[in-house]
Amino acid sequence: MRLGGGLPVATVDTDLQNVCEEVLLEIQASYPDRLVRFDCSGDVRGTWDPDRLAQIVANLIVNAVEHGADAPVSVAAYDARDCVRLTVHNEGPPIPPDVQQTMFEPLARGSSQGSRHVGLGLFIARMIVVAHQGDIRVESAEQTGTTVEVTLPRRSPLARP
């Protein structure tokens, strides 16, 4: 992916609500003691690769569950005019600024977290978002918790069917 080939996507008409609900069923089976709330509002359909979107949703929720203390995780999908937004929020310890800057890179480590290893999940999520011509970002603070937001255009101009 990093050597210029990109990540291939096979786009079809996709409903992000359906993708999220399917992934949530799998997550609840793996983490039965954790509460994951899902809210969906507006039209969250677009032309995307549903299997790749499921990877994004799963990676973000698993990270939120594993790093979010024991607090509930909130997932939301909503209509944002010409795009759709997905947010995953947890109330765990904040992500230090140095880690925020590199957390979407492969095998990133933050000096504030010592040897804590981030791995490939967030890097893969970012590559999938980029393949759909979207954006991914994180906000994290002690007072507000951590939110990862994915913005996807309804139709990715460079996506290949």
pLDDT band at residue 127, thresholds of 50, 70 and 90?
very high
Instruction: Give the total number of structural domains in the chain.
Output: 1
pLDDT band at residue 155, thresholds of 50, 70 and 90?
confident
Q: What is the pLDDT of residue 81?
A: 87
pLDDT in tens, 20-79: 999 999 999 999 999 999 999 999 999 999 999 999 999 999 999 998 888 899 999 999
Q: What is the pLDDT of residue 113?
A: 44
Q: What is the pLDDT of residue 67?
A: 87
| Rounded Cα distance, 15 and 30, in Å | 24
Q: Which residues in 17-26 are b (16+ Cβ under 10 Å) and which e?
A: bebbeebbee
Backbone angles phi, psi at 35, to 5 degrees: -95, 120
Q: Which domain holds residue 130?
A: 12-153
| Rounded Cα distance, 109 and 133, in Å | 26
Q: Is pLDDT at 2 greater than 60 in this prediction?
A: no
3-state SS of 99-153 is: HHHHCCCCCCECHHHCCCECCCHHHHHHHHHHHCCCEEEEEEECCCEEEEEEEEE
| Rounded Cα distance, 12 and 138, in Å | 27
Residue 126 included in any domain:
yes
Q: What is the pLDDT of residue 108?
A: 59
Residue 1 included in any domain:
no
Q: What is the pLDDT of residue 107?
A: 67
Q: Is pLDDT at 114 greater than 90 in this prediction?
A: no
Residue 139 included in any domain:
yes
